Amino acid sequence: MQLNFSGLRALVTGAGKGIGRDTVKALHASGARVVAVSRTNADLVSLSKECPGVETVCVDLADWEATEQALGGVGPVDLLVNNAAVAFLQPFLEVTKEAYDMSFNVNLRAVIQVSQIVARGLIARGAPGVIVNVSSQASQRGLTNHSVYCSTKGALDILTKVMAVELGPHKIRVNAVNPTVVMTPMGQAAWSDPQKAKAMLDRIPLGRFAEVENVVDTILFLLSDRSSMITGSTVPVDGGFLAT
């Protein structure tokens, strides 16, 4: 399925690594003008060399004021992928305020802030648009040592639905993708223990973790007109994990 995003401008957060980086590359290859947002400048420099013409913005989305300053004047955006996220793995009884605050600031609050900036611009222009939030299977299942991460993703799922309800009349679609473990640097850090990985793999009917391209393909479908009647959905990319 060939998707063409020529003439459209996309913004991707968490663009330095993993799902976000490959989403930028796929959108760029499909004709979109892309704004790549990351807190790590070195990642943006290397991305710019891979994808000449990509605009880069270096900002820590956990900082509301810095984000407003960096993105408040970003200009017209038609497609938004809220991918930036952090994961602090702590037993419930050892959850810290710092881990809680950082997780909710990046995984939820930044989604609200960046989406407001983009949606207000779309509405002011009278233009249709699409937002895809990168959630997780952890939004719908309890995973050991993931109490804060699961909570942020559960909140993101319901935020996605409320955004879809409120922004739908403005012709802005909002969906989420909910991957299983993906072999990104963050996924490898969390699931490198073979015993821990086996316990998860045993719960996935297809018997494997996701590749980055599995998630990117789903994101691109949801951004495209091929999914024009889909909004308010949370789409599993999980090998059947949530079916068990």
Looking at the annotation, which residues are catalytic?
149, 153
Q: How far is CA 208 from CA 115, 211, 231, in A?
A: 33, 9, 28
CA angle, 207 then 212 then 214, to 5°: 65
Tokens of 212: 């980055």
CA distance 116 to 109: 11
Q: Whose structure tokens read 């790590």? A: 40
CA distance 12 to 4: 17
Burial 9-41 (b: 16+ CB within 10 A, else e): bbbbbbbbbbbbbbbbbbbbebebbbbbbbbee
Number of neighbouring beta carbons within 10 Å of residue 151: 18
CA distance 172 to 127: 8
Tokens of 120: 């207000």
Q: Tell me which long-range contacts 201-204 makes (C-beta under 8 A, separation of at least 24).
A: 203/241, 203/244, 204/180, 204/238, 204/239, 204/240, 204/241, 204/244
